[in-house]
Structure 1
Amino acid sequence: MRKALLQLIATAALLVTTAAAADAELDEAVTAFENGDFDTARQVFEAHPNHPTALMYLSQIVRREDLDESEELIDQAVELAPDYAEAQFQRGITMGAQANTSIFSALGYAKKALHSFQRAVELEPETVLYRQGLMGFYLAAPGIAGGDMELAWEQVQEIAKLDARSGMIAELDYLRADDQQEIFQRRLKEAVETHSEIPDFYFLAGLNAQAETEYQRAHELFVAGSQQQAPDERSEKARLSALYQVARTAVFSGNHVAEGTAAIESYLDENPGKPDLPSRDWAEFRLAQLYQLQGNSEQAAEITNRLGNSQDESLTKAIKEHHRELAGK
């Protein structure tokens, strides 16, 4: 009996040690993922095919390249851990992306996305990001698929209670989606003036000006946003995004090309490659476009030829269009 008990204790200790080692390994992989080292992260996550966290991060890594594989992975994660709020949130994103690219299955995917966003909020009601996801769905989806402006406004109010800055962003998203342009413009101006020390609202205002083809105004706002201090990770994302948009606006307008080139080079130097920012491949394509505008055709071609086999379909499509435009000149 004593020998059997000792064996049982030894086995339990081994299991605890193994689990702790796996958790430490996954923590390192998550850090690699957050730093943009997706190859290293992927190798570790693939070694844990039955761990919901590993499956969730793998789903994010492959989402840009293969939505079907992303769907399969995130479904496995949620099946293993249905009360894992972050996995439910990521499932909502993947299903929403599937709905956007599907024709016959769009409604079914939209319903899956809505269910997962709702579940994430239900599990962690004080997490702003999850409420933003649910609000975004209500704003973007058609009524038949669950879109609802009243429910979106409810989320705006809940987000504002949790975080004033996020509440302002949510309100602006709502006003724009509801086509309340006059109020939207006024509130956006107020937001830039009230939060002039951070990049967030310069970036949002720049996107609005860019969409209206007010490229000079967009350039000024993006430059201002890129020069502000970022007090937290969310603002740092806005600052880096503003840098990228300085270059993108230069491509659209054909003006401030040198500034755009410097901005995208800084973006490539500073951006670790996080999945919620424009990818390094897209940034390099913007650099190639700017080289072309400066007459550096060889440097531009070197980049576009290297990127031509990218797994990002939207990027390869943009590169082909770029080549067609050059051939037509």
Structure 2
Amino acid sequence: MKKIILFLLFPIVAFGQTDFDRVQTLFNKKQYKKAEALMKAYVLNNTADKKGIELLGDAYGYQEKWDEAIEQYKKLTQLDAKNANYHYKYGGALGMKALSISKLRALGIIGDVKKAFLKAAELDPNHIDTRWALVELYMSLPGIVGGSKKKSLKYANELEVLSKVDGYLAKGYIYEYDDEPELAENYYKKAVAVGGSVTCFEKLANLYESQNKPQKAIETIEASQKKHNRNALHYQLGKVSADYNIQLNKGEQCLLKYIKNYTAADGVPKEWAYYRLAQIYKHKNNKEKALSYIDKALTIRADFKQALKEKAAISRK
């Protein structure tokens, strides 16, 4: 009996003493169900282990099991009420649940979401993610349930003190959300000038697309490519070209480069590049080539709905 008990305890103790790298590796591989099983067994025998509980909550969160994630993160806030990140994760899980249910039911959760984020902000004046969450929350909520552009700008200002780039991006988001594109453009440009990350360029390019300014979007993507040399940007330029029937030759060349250099890390599956090439050749009135590219997309994924719809449209021309 003693040997059986030792056999059962040994992996639990060993797991508890290691740095949980195995679970993190499973997360990186998107094997969330396996990570959940490991952490569920561990937490069952280590009910007050904060790291274990957090990883179990994360495993649930990755799978969008919001009720289960909420349960674990709430435990964390009870075990360590002064940890800002635990309140932030608890609020985030509550917020995601609110988005997944009816608006009427979500109203009953919003107060707890706000309370958790505000607690996290109070506990840690340097917690950037919490302030981003509050910027988005106050902008997205209707005024009748506490939405406030003024409060959103308050946290954007706090972000700007902590990180100019985050502050500029947050203000760009606020003004874009509030349909003030000139102010949004101004702040996104500031973010590009100060930070210049792929995200900064992307926000500015997306704004131009939403304002039906594809030429400016392409110029922004090209500037980003010049600085960062990311294959994913070839796809983005090709997409704008195909969507707006502009600079078709440039768009074609970028998409061909994307396909040639494609890896899973680029994000957008290869069939989408073939789909965009088909759109470009439809614009060029080359039906044969358009169909050949759409067929390549469908060879990779036969149930590609957008490609099936596009093929029908090309065939009718």
TM-score range, shorter chain: 0.7 to 0.9
- Aligned match of 1:320: 305
Shift, 1:138, TM fit: 0.8
1:31-68: CA deviations, max 9, x gaps?
442x4x112x54133211133222222133213xxxxx
Q: Quick one: distance in 2 between partners of 1:168 and 1:109?
A: 30
- Aligned match of 2:211: 212
Structure 2 length as normaliser, TM-score? Answer: 0.73
- Aligned match of 1:260: 255
Identify if the C-alpha distance between structure 1 residues 178 and 91 changes in structure 2 by more than 3 Å, giving closer, same or farther.
same
How many residues align structurally? Answer: 280
The structure 1 residue matched to 2:272, chosen from 278, 286, 306, is: 286
Does structure 1 retain, via aligned residues, the 8 Å contact 2:188–2:204?
yes
Identify if the C-alpha distance between structure 1 residues 173 and 268 changes in structure 2 by more than 3 Å, giving closer, same or farther.
same
The structure 2 residue matched to 1:76, chosen from 71, 75, 80, is: 71
Unaligned 5+ segments in structure 1 are 1-6, 64-69, 231-238, 272-279, 309-318
Identify if the C-alpha distance between structure 1 residues 59 and 240 changes in structure 2 by more than 3 Å, giving closer, same or farther.
farther
Structure 1 length as normaliser, TM-score? Answer: 0.71
Does structure 1 retain, via aligned residues, the 8 Å contact 2:138–2:151?
yes
Amino acid in structure 1 at the alignment position of 2:164: A
Shift, 1:259, TM fit: 0.6
Identify if the C-alpha distance between structure 1 residues 47 and 194 changes in structure 2 by more than 3 Å, giving closer, same or farther.
closer
- Aligned match of 1:150: 150
- SS of residue in 1 equivalent to 2:126: coil
Shift, 1:144, TM fit: 2.6
Q: Quick one: distance in 1 between partners of 2:148 and 2:85?
A: 23
- SS of residue in 2 equivalent to 1:47: helix
Does structure 1 retain, via aligned residues, the 8 Å contact 2:164–2:191?
no
Does structure 2 retain, via aligned residues, the 8 Å contact 1:25–1:44?
no
Does structure 2 retain, via aligned residues, the 8 Å contact 1:200–1:225?
no
Shift, 1:322, TM fit: 4.0
Q: Quick one: distance in 2 between partners of 1:71 and 1:105?
A: 15
- SS of residue in 2 equivalent to 1:228: helix
Shift, 1:206, TM fit: 0.5
Amino acid in structure 2 at the alignment position of 1:21: F
1:165-221: CA deviations, max 9, x gaps?
21121222223233333333333334434555x434322211111111222321221
- Aligned match of 2:48: none
Q: Quick one: distance in 1 between partners of 2:231 and 2:69?
A: 28
- Aligned match of 1:222: 221
The structure 2 residue matched to 1:29, chosen from 5, 12, 23, is: 23
Q: Quick one: distance in 1 between partners of 2:240 and 2:13?
A: 49
- Aligned match of 1:234: none
1:259-298: CA deviations, max 9, x gaps?
1343466564434xxxxxxxx5x53452342353353233
Q: Quick one: distance in 1 between partners of 2:202 and 2:296?
A: 29
- Aligned match of 1:99: 98
The structure 1 residue matched to 2:296, chosen from 283, 296, 299, is: 299
- Aligned match of 1:46: 37
- Aligned match of 1:270: 265
C-alpha RMSD of the superposition:
3.4
Identify if the C-alpha distance between structure 1 residues 201 and 47 changes in structure 2 by more than 3 Å, giving closer, same or farther.
closer
Q: Quick one: distance in 2 between partners of 1:137 and 1:226?
A: 32
Does structure 1 retain, via aligned residues, the 8 Å contact 2:271–2:298?
no
Q: Quick one: distance in 2 between partners of 1:177 and 1:186?
A: 14
Shift, 1:258, TM fit: 3.1
- Aligned match of 2:286: none
Q: Quick one: distance in 2 between partners of 1:164 and 1:25?
A: 34
Q: Counterparts of 1:125-140 in structure 2 under 5 Å? A: 125-140=125-140
Q: Quick one: distance in 2 between partners of 1:27 and 1:48?
A: 12
1:234-257: CA deviations, max 9, x gaps?
xxxxx6875653344244235303
Q: Quick one: distance in 2 between partners of 1:85 and 1:242?
A: 36
Identify if the C-alpha distance between structure 1 residues 129 and 79 changes in structure 2 by more than 3 Å, giving closer, same or farther.
closer
Shift, 1:116, TM fit: 3.1
Q: Quick one: distance in 1 between partners of 2:119 and 2:271?
A: 38
Shift, 1:124, TM fit: 3.0
Larger relative contact order (Cα-Cα within 8 Å, sequence gap ≥ 6): 1
Amino acid in structure 2 at the alignment position of 1:302: T
Identify if the C-alpha distance between structure 1 residues 299 and 118 changes in structure 2 by more than 3 Å, giving closer, same or farther.
same
- SS of residue in 2 equivalent to 1:213: coil
